[in-house]
Amino acid sequence: MDVVEVWNGHNACVLQAALRMTNEAFAERVGIAPRTVAAWHTNPGVVLRRETQQLLDEVHETASPTVRRRFALMLTSNQADPGSGGFPVEPLRVAIAVVVRDDQVLLVCRRDDGASGITWQFPAGVVKPGVRPDTAAVRETLNETGVRCAVVRTLGTRLHPVTAVQCEYFLCEFLAGEATNSDVVENVDVMWVPNTSITRFIPTSNIFPPILAALEEPQ
């Protein structure tokens, strides 16, 4: 196969396997976030955004002949099925900051390959080897939104029901900074949302229950 007419999550994961790259390495090669690659493994049928299609075209076109042959063979074999065990999905740890300011919570609007094109989420960052999760949560919040915060306490850990990544949640207090979209590649907007309105932005089924309990506490 010399040309991929439409890139979906499945084809993208096969290209990752052909390159023999981890989620993080492949994300860096493509120019996207590791959480996006993890989402492709979870939802292989999703058709990717036009910008992402172009990035994958470039990665495929610049790959070595050996990689391109391997990609074509895997795409037409059982190895190409992400659910068949043909290639493993590496565990991905993400630190998530639930930043509270008075009766508001900080959210980011991410670009998404799903039907809506966007999703509202809490600031989050991949926990790299040797980095403390709470440090990653605070650092990523600053990098994404320009908001400085401090961890108050841990809210718990779970496997996310949508992305299937290992999530570690931290309740954080606002310290300083204006909420701005500092990552225009991955995000569309940043906003302070009233605690009582959070389920208008994120489905209740996707919110870790301890978060809702923490937001009900007097701040």
Measured torsion, CA atoms of residues 110, 206, 136, 183, in degrees rounded to the nearest 10: 10
Return the CATH number of the domain spanning residue range 9-80: 1.10.260
CATH class of 93-215: alpha beta
Q: How many CB atoms neighbour CB 115 within 10 A?
A: 7
The whole-angstrom separation of Cα 58 and Cα 185 is: 17
Does residue 183 contact residue 203 with C-beta atoms inside 8 Å? no
In tens digits, what is the pLDDT along the chain, a chain of 219 residues? 467 888 988 889 889 988 988 888 898 899 888 888 888 887 788 888 888 989 999 999 999 988 888 888 787 764 444 444 444 445 578 899 999 999 999 999 988 766 557 889 999 988 887 889 999 999 999 999 999 999 999 999 998 777 667 899 999 999 999 999 988 878 889 999 999 999 999 999 889 999 999 998 876
At 77 the pLDDT is 66
Q: Where are the domains of the chain?
A: 9-80, 93-215
Q: How many beta carbons lie within 10 A of that of residue 185, not counting itself?
A: 9
- pTM of the predicted structure, to 2 decimals: 0.66
Question: How far is CA 19 from its chain centroid?
Answer: 21
Per the structure block, which two tokens stand in for 40? 């492709």
DSSP letter for each residue of 56-119:
HHHHHHHS-HHHHHHHHHHHTSGGG-TTTTSSPPPP-EEEEEEEEETTEEEEEEEE-SSSSSEE
Query: What are the residues facing 124 on neighbouring strands?
Result: 96
β-sheet bridge partners, residue 187: 110
Residues paired with residue 122 on neighbouring β-strands, in sequence order? none
